[in-house]
Structure 1
């Protein structure tokens, strides 16, 4: 005799008629505008500019603190004359060379560290020794080894980029899940192919973070190095532009050079790195 499960009774409920629907009112225009990040950031910048102009007018001493309007005039004049574009081009050209070399060396060192035991020991030892060492402290040695030329600046830039980039990349490699690692091994990936197809895509958020940190370090190191390097050789980019105008007491041009440094930093962060994150890690759901 088989036991049959009880049959559950079925019920039919008559739903009440749908009443009049009320649409949700849209948000006010000011609320929608304030939800835009670019507008909030623009307001912050505008407030800072107003505070700057107000402090300059209260100080009433152009030698110590020129106002924003005066600085903007100096900035526009030097941009129109071609002096600032020349300095910016020199700085960016040198920066890109050192940045690329430092990034490639950091990726090679991190790949060795994640692949071999001796590479891991090498990365740990070198980063412990050289990462705390300020890049600008190596400028006297770079001038001695490479002379008064662009190679001296590239040397200190490579030092400033390489170690934070290597540490972030290696930390990203270590954070790759065991499932992805085993998948790569099962497909027969070894060596550089394993790093290229498995580790780098999985560790991309950490690599991008290292690229941003390396860019910030390199940009600051370059400006600081050019203050010394430019004074020695009579050449240089934005750092030399700032140093030269400080010696000639053109404080408005000093501020114009500082504004150029800030604008370039904002453009690189907003256009290059933000775009990279949007088309990669955010698109692939690796980062919110």
Structure 2
């Protein structure tokens, strides 16, 4: 005799769902407060305050030879741009800088790819970075002058040295932080050696690589200006550092400050026009960086 169990009968109940409450709209902030939330406006205000402080200190000191006023420096900067002298000097410096920067990136990528692929490459990278990364690039300038002479070759040598080691360290640190699951996934697809580096390690380590590129750019830019201050003529023409050096010898302090302002402006343009959009289009868009 089989026992058949009937399933329990659940009592039906009727529930009354309350209508959704409308969320109160966020209060509209005043125009001044909304404008102050823009970072570019806050930074502009900071720059204006610094300019006012500079002008006040210069007028209080009353010595144009030691510290020209902000207005004098701005006038010298505008005159240099209008006359074409300052853009010509900047163009010479940037041409040398881009050549050395690209060469340093290529060398850093080759060294880092070798370190990520082989054990001997890893030992080579660790040894070379421990030796040469603490060495200032400008300290190699006397050797560069002996090896390459007074010209562009010496500048390229010190720029490559300035770019190579921070970029290689940043990329290698990024490669080391790649999870093992991604590496195993790449190997399961048959990737190894350079293909594994290009398709797996480089995309995963992109934030560290971009940081290394930014640091390498900053090191290269200030190394170039410092080297040009020492000799700075390439092919009979001097760059921005040579412009600063010449005007310092001729006691045109306002032009010296105008040259320094050009160095700062170019650094800000590269940061905001090149690197920041690149980060926005890549690592921030992909959620790899806040």
TM range (shorter): over 0.9
* Selected match of 2:266 from 261, 264, 273: 264
Match of 1:224 in 2: 226
Structure 1 vs Structure 2 CA RMSD? 2.0
Residues 1-288 of structure 1 correspond to what in structure 2 (within 5 A)?
1=3, 9-15=11-17, 22-230=24-232, 235-288=237-290
The 3-state SS of whatever aligns with 2:64 is coil
Moved more, 28-37 or 123-132: 28-37
Moved more, 224-233 or 83-92: 224-233
How big is the shift at 1:64? 0.8
The 3-state SS of whatever aligns with 2:232 is helix
How big is the shift at 1:178? 1.0
Counterparts of 2:19 and 2:176 in 1: how far apart (Å)?
59
* TM-score normalised to structure 2 length: 0.94
Q: Deviations over 1:229-264 (max 9, x none)?
A: 238997421111111101111000000000000000
Residue 2 to residue 256, structure 1, CA distance change in 2 (3 Å): farther
How big is the shift at 1:30? 1.5
* TM-score normalised to structure 1 length: 0.94
Residue 120 to residue 12, structure 1, CA distance change in 2 (3 Å): same
Q: Deviations over 1:113-146 (max 9, x none)?
A: 1110100010011001100101001001101100
Contact 1:246 1:254 in 2 (8 A): yes
Residue 221 to residue 8, structure 1, CA distance change in 2 (3 Å): farther
How big is the shift at 1:11? 4.0
Counterparts of 2:109 and 2:22 in 1: how far apart (Å)?
63
Residue 118 to residue 67, structure 1, CA distance change in 2 (3 Å): same
The 3-state SS of whatever aligns with 1:283 is coil
How big is the shift at 1:186? 0.6
Counterparts of 1:263 and 1:12 in 2: how far apart (Å)?
70
Residue 11 to residue 232, structure 1, CA distance change in 2 (3 Å): same
Counterparts of 1:21 and 1:151 in 2: how far apart (Å)?
67
Contact 1:245 1:251 in 2 (8 A): yes
- Number of equivalenced pairs: 288
Counterparts of 2:225 and 2:21 in 1: how far apart (Å)?
68
Counterparts of 2:207 and 2:223 in 1: how far apart (Å)?
24
How big is the shift at 1:61? 1.0
Counterparts of 1:162 and 1:234 in 2: how far apart (Å)?
28
Counterparts of 1:182 and 1:6 in 2: how far apart (Å)?
52
Unpaired runs of at least 5, structure 2? none
Residue 3 to residue 69, structure 1, CA distance change in 2 (3 Å): farther
Counterparts of 1:180 and 1:17 in 2: how far apart (Å)?
48
How big is the shift at 1:170? 0.2
Counterparts of 1:125 and 1:72 in 2: how far apart (Å)?
47
